[in-house]
């Protein structure tokens, strides 16, 4: 008997999940809060966000309503087709990225922001 090949998440499911995660974080909602509003467990929200589970149309509608965005936003149809928005969404979905950006935006323009950017850059090039 041949073994079943491991399933690979569909890129569309992964992209939708990344958008759910990004929008949830932007709205300041925990996975638990989104799960309660959508009527599922927080584990299910985790699976949606990873793209491990496909989100049904009815569930996506509930999630979009909770996140206060149009359904098209969940697929990226409201954005340009350059891929830039998807790249930004992927960057912001990194742990701590949104918090770092919020802290950065709270700094006064000028030397403080420049110093922070240079500091972070130095960390990425450190041996």
Summarised one tens digit per residue, pLDDT across range 9-46 is 788 888 899 889 888 888 889 999 999 999 999 999 99
Looking at the predicted structure, is the pLDDT value of residue 52 above 50?
yes
Contacts 24+ apart (CB under 8 A), 26-33: 26/98, 27/67, 27/68, 29/66, 29/67
Which is more confident, 125 or 77? Answer: 125
Which is more confident, 52 or 6? Answer: 52
- Number of Cβ within 10 Å of residue 90's Cβ equals 15
| Percent share of the chain, pLDDT over 70 | 83
């Amino acid at each position: 008997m041949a073994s079943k090949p491991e399933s690979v998440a569909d890129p569309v499911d992964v992209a939708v999940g990344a958008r759910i995660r990004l929008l949830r974080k932007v709205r300041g909602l925990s996975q638990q809060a989104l799960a309660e509003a959508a009527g599922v467990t927080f584990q299910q929200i985790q699976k949606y966000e990873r793209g491990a589970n496909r989100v049904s149309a009815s569930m996506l509608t509930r999630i979009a309503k909770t996140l206060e965005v149009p359904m098209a936003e969940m697929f990226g149809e409201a954005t340009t087709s350059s891929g830039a928005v998807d790249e930004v969404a992927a960057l912001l979905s990194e742990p701590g990225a949104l918090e770092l950006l919020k802290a950065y935006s709270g700094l006064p323009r000028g030397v403080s922001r420049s110093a922070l950017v240079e500091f972070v850059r130095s960390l990425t090039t450190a041996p």
